[in-house]
């Protein structure tokens, strides 16, 4: 989710240091803040002490000193650690609003191979909830310049992770809350893909039918619920305090909608312990996230297994689904993002499939299914899905309406301009066909549209936008 002016880097503090294994500590809201903890400062100081503690040699006859986190449990902090599973709830003490700051003390400490069960909050520290008007959402954005709107849980220190390694994070299970929201902010903020065409703000709230895996967009229109973390990332190499909005090699706000349960992601590590965060939780998102937001929600459970891959030396994250490998490219210029994507895809195929450079480029052109991740986070993103099955057909790239999809196609020498043309044609076409308000068609495209990069030709960039006709449910509406 979303564009925002860059934050000013701030004076750094030292990075995390190595320390023995420890269970995490967390705070519960079941007791008053005064009885559960003395203060946020005391709690964070305790976390820092636990993270930095060393193992002291002891005589065999002496009892083992109580670990700092176990002392915290005894003294009244409420926590849970069981057999390699760490529970990290989202509370005022375990989340931050809009900043990645590696000076934040770790809220959990895990070993490679552990499973982390994390909660997340809605945007702006859970202040965007059903019934909150768009004027208040706008006020929250304007009142806090620089920071992102995302609430992120963490950071989590991963033992043994060092610069030059990578984290392999497998998404095991995601349980969202039963509701979410999508909003378009006023045009004068210049957010989203088309702020001038859709200057009126709007917020739509959704109830999720989790039993059926859908949510109603409008009467007769249902969107599949496919939850995934919009933000999943680690601390960058540079010390300081940075907005959560722009993604980068560290991951962060990558908004790749394939990152659902069953998918794994490899993220390069830049500091000791990696420092892992997640937030910007999504229930559904289209390619591009064009009106600024997905269906923004919070997760009651984000269940991940985290493994340190030593010496991985990745330049950018890579993903793996049961059927595809996925490479990425991000840049403020979508054309340069495509160049990075091509470079990363060729590199992946050479390293893992034994191809030469020419063979890898041909394979990408023939079998790669390249799509837009997002274009609203300052740094724009693309990803390429490479099928694992030999000679599998790539995703379709139609230029006209098909039996299953509404289609808009555009070609231009500039990839961003081609996407602008194709996406706007789709919005106008859906608004006309469905007798829908254009701003609702804009929202629907942000939540459900595919945006695929077509064949690469000298001086020409093709974009194919698809909207499934299956969103329109017979017998409803």
> What pLDDT score does 330 carry?
98
Q: How far apart are the first and last CA of the chain?
A: 30
DSSP-based three-state secondary structure for 162: coil
User: What is the CB-side half-sphere exposure of residue 259 using CA atoms within 13 A?
Assistant: 36
Q: What is the pLDDT of residue 394?
A: 78
Each residue's pLDDT tens digit, 369-412: 999 999 999 999 999 999 999 878 878 999 999 999 999 999 99
pLDDT score of 252: 98
Dihedral pair phi/psi, residue 69, rounded to 5°: -70, -30
pLDDT score at 395: 84
Q: What is the pLDDT of residue 62?
A: 47
CATH 3.10.28.20 fits 319-394+401-471, yes or no: yes
Q: Given this model, what pLDDT does residue 205 score?
A: 98
Q: What is the mean pLDDT of the segment spanning 150-154?
A: 96
What is the spatial distance between Cα 360 and Cα 347, in angstroms, rounded to a whole number? 8
Annotate 293-319 with b (16+ C-beta within 10 A) or e (fewer): bbbbbbbbebbbbbbbbeebebebbbb
Cβ atoms of residues 238 and 9 within 8 Å: yes
Average pLDDT over residues 197-219: 97
Per-residue confidence band for 161, with pLDDT thresholds at 50, 70 and 90:
very high
Total residues belonging to the chain = 477
- In this chain, the answer to whether the domains covering 33-56+67-315 and 319-394+401-471 adopt an identical fold is no
Would you place residue 204 in the very low, low, confident or very high pLDDT band (cuts 50, 70, 90)?
very high
pLDDT value at position 64?
55
Please tell me which residue, 102 or 135, carries the higher pLDDT value.
135
Helices (H) and strands (E) in the chain, counts: 9, 26
The answer to whether the CB of 306 falls within 8 A of the CB of 110 is: yes
CATH number belonging to the domain at 33-56+67-315, selected among 3.40.50.10800, 2.60.120.580, 3.40.50.300, 1.10.10.410: 2.60.120.580
Spatial distance between the Cα atoms of 238 and 100, rounded to a whole number of angstroms: 11
pLDDT digits (tens, 9 = 90+) for 67-116: 454 444 344 333 456 777 899 999 998 999 999 998 898 888 889 999 99
The domain spans of the chain are 33-56+67-315, 319-394+401-471
Cα 135 to Cα 138, 174, 199, 297, distances in angstroms: 5, 31, 13, 19
CA-wise closest residue to 371 among 398, 407, 397: 397
The pLDDT of residue 102: 86
The pLDDT score that the predictor gives to residue 78 is 32
Give the Cα separation of 71 and 46 in Å (integer): 10
> Do 51 and 41 form a contact (C-beta atoms < 8 A)?
no
pLDDT of residue 458: 85
Average pLDDT, the chain: 86
The whole-number pLDDT of residue 435 equals 96
Q: Are strands 202-209 and 369-374 parallel, antiparallel or unpaired?
A: unpaired
pLDDT in tens, 14-71: 333 333 233 222 222 333 333 333 333 343 334 433 333 333 333 344 455 554 544 4
- pLDDT at residue 200, rounded to an integer: 96
């Amino acid at each position: 989710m979303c564009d925002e002016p860059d934050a000013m880097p701030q004076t750094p503090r030292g990075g995390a240091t190595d320390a023995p294994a420890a269970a995490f500590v967390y705070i519960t809201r079941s007791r008053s803040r005064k009885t559960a903890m003395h203060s946020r400062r005391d709690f964070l100081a305790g976390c820092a002490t636990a993270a930095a503690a060393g193992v002291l040699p002891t005589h065999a006859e002496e009892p083992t000193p109580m670990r700092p986190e176990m002392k915290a449990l005894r003294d009244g902090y409420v926590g849970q650690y069981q057999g390699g599973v760490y529970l990290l709830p989202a509370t005022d003490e375990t989340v931050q609003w809009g900043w990645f700051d590696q000076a934040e003390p770790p809220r959990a400490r895990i070993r490679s191979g552990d499973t982390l069960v994390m909660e997340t909050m809605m945007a702006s520290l859970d202040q965007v909830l059903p019934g909150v008007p768009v004027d208040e959402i706008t006020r929250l954005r304007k009142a806090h310049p620089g920071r992102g709107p995302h609430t992120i849980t963490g950071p989590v220190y991963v033992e043994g992770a060092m610069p030059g390694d990578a984290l392999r994070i497998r998404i095991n299970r995601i349980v969202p809350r039963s509701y979410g929201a999508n909003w378009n902010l006023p045009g004068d903020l210049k957010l989203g893909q088309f702020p001038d065409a859709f200057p009126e703000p709007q917020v739509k709230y959704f109830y999720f039918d989790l039993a059926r895996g859908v949510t109603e967009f409008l009467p007769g229109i249902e969107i599949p619920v496919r939850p995934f973390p919009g933000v999943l990332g680690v601390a960058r190499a540079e010390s300081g305090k940075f907005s959560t909005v722009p993604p980068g090699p560290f991951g962060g706000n990558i908004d790749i909608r394939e990152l659902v349960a069953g998918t794994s992601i490899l993220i390069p590590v830049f500091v000791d312990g990696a420092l892992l965060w997640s937030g910007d939780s999504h229930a559904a998102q289209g390619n591009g996230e064009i009106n600024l937001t997905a269906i923004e929600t919070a997760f009651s459970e984000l269940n991940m297994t985290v493994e340190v891959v030593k010496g991985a030396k990745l330049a950018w994250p890579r993903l793996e689904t049961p059927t595809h490998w996925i490479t990425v490219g991000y840049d403020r210029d979508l054309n340069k993002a495509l160049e990075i994507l091509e470079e990363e895809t060729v590199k992946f195929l050479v390293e893992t499939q034994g191809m030469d450079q020419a063979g890898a480029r041909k394979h990408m052109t023939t079998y790669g299914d390249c799509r837009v991740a997002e274009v609203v986070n300052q740094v724009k993103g693309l990803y390429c899905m490479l099928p694992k099955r030999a000679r599998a057909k790539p995703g379709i790239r139609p230029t006209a309406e098909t039996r299953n999809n509404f289609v808009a196609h555009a070609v231009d020498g500039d990839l961003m301009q081609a996407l602008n043309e194709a996406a706007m044609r789709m919005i106008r076409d859906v608004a006309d066909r469905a007798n829908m308000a254009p701003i609702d068609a804009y929202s629907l495209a942000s939540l459900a549209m595919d945006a695929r990069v077509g064949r690469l030709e000298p001086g020409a960039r093709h974009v194919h936008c698809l909207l499934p006709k299956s969103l329109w449910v017979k017998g409803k509406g």
